[in-house]
Amino acid sequence: MNIKQVSSGSEVDEKLAALLTNANAVRAIASAVEGTIGPKGLDTMLVDRFGDVVITNDGITILTKMDVNHPAARMVINTAKAQEEEIGDGTTTATIMAAALLTEGVNQAIKGVPVTRIIEGIRLGIRRVLELIDDKSRPVGGVDDPILRQVALVAGRQHEDIADLAVKAAALVGRDKLLEEDFKLADTVIAKESAENEVFMGVIIDKERLNRDMPRVVEEASILVIDDALEPEEVEEEALATEAGFQRHLELQEEFRCNLQKLINMGVNVILVDRGVSDVAEEMLTDAGVMVLSRLTSKELRKAAEHTGARPVKRTALKKDPNDLAKYLGRADRVYEDEKLEHVRILGGKGKPMATLLVGAATEEVVHERERIARDAASAVQAAIRGGVVAGGGAVELAIADEVEAFRSSIKGMAGYGVECVVEALKKPMFQIVANAGFNPLEKLGDVIAARARLGKDSLGIDCDTGEVVDMFELGVVDPTLVKTHGLRAAAEIAEAILRIDTIIKKKDDSGQEDRSAEQDVEDLDF
């Protein structure tokens, strides 16, 4: 699958120089993550200039934390980010497939096939692949379908505790919520050092109460969410120096105290604040037994508001009549601070039902990796419910490769060579998974092809423990259909975009400093 070696002389048109340069950069990117794919994939260590280390098996983490200069390599990374944002899983496969498509495309171009015909063939091939994947997809019965645990287990890198959490969270949220376009189950994942694995209805605010004299537990909470600072309005410094300005300052201070007392009289006992809280507000609210959390992130503020049914307000809204202000309050059965884990939980909100998937870890170094694993598992479960599942382990791609190869015979002209690129790229996932498991990939792919011809099954793959040919569905190795289809589209788009580039021009540097050439960037890439 490597790009064929060619001289820089007359054997290859000079116009291919840009394509070769870009293809080599993409290949280097793919080689950085291909060793992680599959159940026997290994970890990658990322080290920054300060010596801080990240050890991970997560493709998107590796790609986004790599020090990369080459523009084509960055294009691949941006595509992987889009895959992560849209589906939440499958970034490694998408990257490997993109590199395989591009590699085969370059090899065809070296043979003399026009790039436009290669692109045309790739489009035709991918269109056929997507049709075939949809045909082979199996629907998921619902949030209680046993196959969801297998999906979570594969995406969760065989962590059974995390797979169980992801499935439980999906069941708690429900199918209708999982089908909502703007809801992501992965966003419910939180990892904490020393925490116990847990799934519950409610949200976590990663803050402590403003001071220890405030109540630690509030039952039947009446919650005000302030998307602002909880401070009096201010008079401009210049005006404050005048008598009228100072008088206005005193009036605003008194008005602020009255507004706080109004909140206390209304029975507000939990206040969530986006920014800071003044000393006056802290003192009055502490004396009144109100729990206050300050400097929440916008994400925490939004989740808390949605779960409790609160409508965030600015501090100017505190002037409203109590009856009007009451319409903005949220409700929850219980709000309490977990002093050990140093966060606050809001349970039983009266707004939208929301689940939290809490993953525990023994050390700080492991926390982030377990969070990444849990997010992958949760994303895969949601994708499976939305679009069904197909055989994993590269089985569906290899089965489809045969059908696309047959489809190639119906393509007239040189576009057929582009279809061949798709056929070769489809073999890459199983090839790499088997290689990572320590087996000869050419031999094992041949075994699968022979067994499929004999048994007539298109879900056959390799058991990475024994090296035997097995049915992936029976083994429990399944992938969400949406992960496959979106990854293939992304891989084809990036391969096409790079294939279309036939010239690299050094852009003028407006700062007056000489730019390095793109070729120099390739030489400087440190993978």
DSSP state of 351: S
> Which burial class, exposed, middle or buried, applies to 512 when counting CB atoms under 10 A from its CB (0-12, 13-18, 19+)?
exposed
Q: Which of 486, 307, 305, 296 is nearest to 390 (CA)?
A: 486
CA–CA gap between residue 408 and residue 212 (Å, rounded) = 71
CA–CA gap between residue 93 and residue 57 (Å, rounded) = 13
Q: What is the pLDDT of residue 235?
A: 65
Q: Which of 460, 422, 499, 497 is nearest to 129 (CA)?
A: 422
Q: What is the pLDDT of residue 511?
A: 59
Task: Please state which architecture CATH assigns to domain 16-138+390-432+481-524.
Answer: Orthogonal Bundle (1.10)
List beta partners, residue 47: 53
Domain ranges of the chain: 16-138+390-432+481-524, 201-361
Torsion of CA 468, 474, 476, 482, to 10 degrees: 110
Helix (H, G, I), strand (E, B) or coil at 359: strand
Torsion of CA 183, 189, 190, 196, to 10 degrees: 140
CA–CA gap between residue 377 and residue 361 (Å, rounded) = 16
Q: What is the pLDDT of residue 512?
A: 52
Task: Please state which architecture CATH assigns to domain 201-361.
Answer: 3-Layer(bba) Sandwich (3.50)
CA–CA gap between residue 280 and residue 119 (Å, rounded) = 67
Q: What is the pLDDT of residue 10?
A: 44
Q: What is the pLDDT of residue 25?
A: 84
The pTM assigned to this predicted structure is: 0.80
CA 308 to the chain's CA centroid? 26
CA–CA gap between residue 29 and residue 327 (Å, rounded) = 53
- Taking a C-beta distance cutoff of 8 angstroms, is the pair 404, 125 a contact? yes
Category of 320 on φ-ψ map: left (φ > 0), alpha (ψ -120 to 50) or beta:
beta
- Taking a C-beta distance cutoff of 8 angstroms, is the pair 437, 462 a contact? yes
CA–CA gap between residue 427 and residue 97 (Å, rounded) = 9
What is the mean pLDDT of each successive set of 10 residues along the chain, which is 527 residues long?
A: 45 68 84 85 83 80 82 82 76 87 90 92 94 94 92 92 93 90 89 87 92 94 93 74 74 89 93 92 93 93 93 90 92 93 92 88 81 92 94 93 90 90 93 93 93 91 93 93 91 89 70 50 45
Q: What is the pLDDT of residue 459?
A: 92
Q: What is the pLDDT of residue 6?
A: 42
Q: What is the pLDDT of residue 364?
A: 74
CA–CA gap between residue 428 and residue 271 (Å, rounded) = 54
Helix (H, G, I), strand (E, B) or coil at 307: helix
Start-end of H helices in 51-200: 59-65, 71-86, 91-111, 115-136, 147-155, 160-173, 175-178
Which tokens sit at 398?
């290899």
